[in-house]
Amino acid sequence: MEVTSLLTKTNDKCIIAPIEVTSLLTKTNDKCIIASMEVTSLLTKTNDKCIIAPIEVTSLLTKTNDKCISQLKLRHCLLRLMINVSVPQWKLRHCLLRLMINVSLPQWKLRHCLLRLMINVAFPQLKLRHCLLRLMINVSLPQWKLRHCLLRLMINVSLPPMEVTSLLTKTNDKCCITSMEATSLLTKTNDKCLIASIEATSLLTKTNDKCLIAPIEATSLLNKTNDKCLIAPIEVTSLLTKTNNKCLIASIEATSLLTKTNDKCISAPIEVTSLLTKTNDKCRITSMEVTSLLTKTNDKCLIASIEVTSLLTKTNDKCLIAPIEATSLLTKTNDKCRIAPMEVTSLLTKTNDKCIIASIEATSLLTKTNDKCIIAPMEATSLL
């Protein structure tokens, strides 16, 4: 079926009932009750019968004898259950993922458990990531940890071929996938991964508490206000890290991404997109005082080493994923990828139709040698 929940148990029989969104269960007095939510919930247990009831908000608590069980352990178990189930995986996870907004648990721990399950799974990765990306709204924890987990998902996945797509557009509480002017993040063609630049579009813009993914001409990445992180234009990654309770992004050639006013970061309109700013057919993001690719330590941005791999390294118009301990995004130079050392990093800076990523404080990630991308040992890493 197109939409489904986990299981609804009625008369000792398990039935899969169609739902759009779901929540977990809240158990009170040996009865499971789902708090109200805008669409629907998984189960509402009453008198040993499970009924799907529409709710507006969900509770992630399981209450037994007026005591709350460890949510983390509970969710971790729930998440582990979602491997090799006989229902559409992405819809199942989509429901769970929606639950993880505005919860009172360490978000990254919960999501980290979830994200680790989603590596090398055989369901539509794109839709899954759309859902994952939506998690990053109104989270008040270190964004980099959250995104670090997200990035790990994007290794060794089989994406369907697609040339023009957007992430996810939420309008009127309904999820739609609309096309974008340029391209999506990952495009798989002929078993080769290509990351194409976005000409004039953003990933996600949040307006009036509604998430809209539409081709736009200006967007910002992250707005930090009152020590709370709001991902306005995109849910993927932010270019900010917190330093002395102030978020700063240096102005770029086209326009500044964020304008700092009274210790608050306000999104200023830019001419193109959040990932790339296009000016005279050249995309550039200047170095920032702090960046999301780094982790904050002693008011200094450091990239923690990881065991995974880089996203894509482009060589001869082909994208290769090379095993490394640390990595960054891509820099395109003469149709080849190269990452140079820098103190503070940016995403992509396009100059003369060539994308270059400046260096980071630790060391260079990729060194181009003989048209091949080699990862040099380093103590720091960027996005992934």
Contact indicator for 128, 93 with CB cutoff of 8 Å = yes
In a domain, 65, yes or no: yes
Contact indicator for 356, 303 with CB cutoff of 8 Å = no
Q: Mark out the alpha helices in the chain (DSSP H runs).
A: 71-80, 89-99, 107-117, 125-134, 143-153
Domain that holds residue 22: 1-98
Tell me, what's the pLDDT at 38?
24
Tell me, what's the pLDDT at 87?
37
Residue type at 341 in one-letter notation: P
- Tell me the C-alpha to C-alpha distance, in Å, between residue 144 and each of 28, 73, 232, 370: 36, 23, 16, 33
Q: Could you tell me the pLDDT band of residue 364, with boundaries at 50, 70 and 90?
A: very low
In a domain, 191, yes or no: no
Tell me, what's the pLDDT at 173?
24
Tell me, what's the pLDDT at 43?
32
Tell me, what's the pLDDT at 171?
25
Contact indicator for 213, 206 with CB cutoff of 8 Å = no
In a domain, 11, yes or no: yes
Tell me, what's the pLDDT at 307?
20
The token pair at 288 is 């920032």
Tell me, what's the pLDDT at 156?
26
Residue type at 381 in one-letter notation: T
- Which of the 8 DSSP states describes residue 37? B
Chain center to CA of 281: 27
Using a pLDDT cut of 70, give the percent of the chain over it: 0
Longest CA–CA span in the chain (Å) reads 70
Residue type at 283 in one-letter notation: C
Q: What is the mean pLDDT of residues 43-62?
A: 29
In a domain, 28, yes or no: yes
The count of structural domains within the chain is: 1
Tell me, what's the pLDDT at 2?
23
Tell me, what's the pLDDT at 260?
29
Tell me, what's the pLDDT at 136?
38
Q: How far apart are the first and last CA of the chain?
A: 35
Name the nearest CA neighbour of 186 among 124, 126, 272, 275.
Answer: 126
Cα separation, 164 vs 355, in Å, equals 21
- pLDDT 10s digits, 290-330: 223 222 322 222 222 222 222 222 222 222 222 222 223 33
Cα separation, 313 vs 323, in Å, equals 11
Helix (H) or strand (E) holding 151: helix 143-153
- pLDDT 10s digits, 225-277: 222 233 333 222 232 222 222 222 222 222 222 232 222 233 332 222 233 33
Cα separation, 204 vs 216, in Å, equals 9
Tell me, what's the pLDDT at 157?
29
Q: Could you tell me the pLDDT band of residue 208, with boundaries at 50, 70 and 90?
A: very low
Tell me, what's the pLDDT at 41?
29
In a domain, 62, yes or no: yes
Tell me, what's the pLDDT at 9?
33
Tell me, what's the pLDDT at 81?
42
Q: Could you tell me the pLDDT band of residue 193, with boundaries at 50, 70 and 90?
A: very low
Round the average pLDDT of the chain to a whole number and report it.
31
In a domain, 84, yes or no: yes
Q: Could you tell me the pLDDT band of residue 207, with boundaries at 50, 70 and 90?
A: very low
In a domain, 58, yes or no: yes
Cα separation, 205 vs 198, in Å, equals 15
Q: What is the mean pLDDT of residues 88-114?
A: 44
In a domain, 74, yes or no: yes
Name the nearest CA neighbour of 278 among 226, 229, 383, 350.
Answer: 350
Using a pLDDT cut of 90, give the percent of the chain over it: 0
